Amino acid sequence: MSRKSQMQSQLFIYIMTLLIIGLLLYFGFGWISKLFKTQSVIDATKFQVDLENAFEKIRPNYGSTSEREFLAPDGVDRICFVDTQMKVSDRKLRGLCNSANDDYDPVMCNQWMDNTSAIMFSPAIERDIDIGSIVVDATPGYLCFDTTKSRRFTLLLTGLGNRVKVKSQ
């Protein structure tokens, strides 16, 4: 075999090797990113199911308490539980709706004023979580958790028959 044909053969092998590695990287990154998206959907669904089940179990058992730890969905910076029993007129004066307060969040305030849910997220998620009617055992009428550093937070739930009292633990 001549030296020229040997170099052409090696060049062909190098080009094919680069092509195969490039295709593997391209499809591999696509597969891995799809896997991460699937994992975040699974995490959000698990959070929803865990939260709804915890509230559903404790609600009818008047006076019983349960301490539960939850793992917030990935990408959520803040979770707030709001008192659904508070009058809408009283909510305007509270921290979430008072621009002079450190807790002020106009998006969460609008959600609370609309009384859409007892739980709110920042940034908002595309998932309806129904934990029913709650009473927040905190002075401002809401209980917020910063989930940027640690996604874990603990709640003390107390059954009240037709609603649940929520307290930070």
> Which pLDDT tens digit goes with each residue over 16-31?
899 999 888 888 888 8
Whether this model's pTM surpasses 0.85: no
Better-predicted residue by pLDDT, 137 or 19: 19
Q: Are residues 53 and 164 in contact, defined by beta-carbon separation less than 8 angstroms? A: no
Instruction: Assess whether pLDDT exceeds 60 at residue 1.
Output: no
Residue with tokens 């709640």: 155
Q: β-strands 134-136, 164-168: how paired?
A: parallel
Q: Are residues 123 and 80 in contact, defined by beta-carbon separation less than 8 angstroms? A: no
Total residue count of the chain as it appears in this document: 169
**Nearest-angstrom CA–CA distance, 132 and 84:** 9
pLDDT at 67: 92
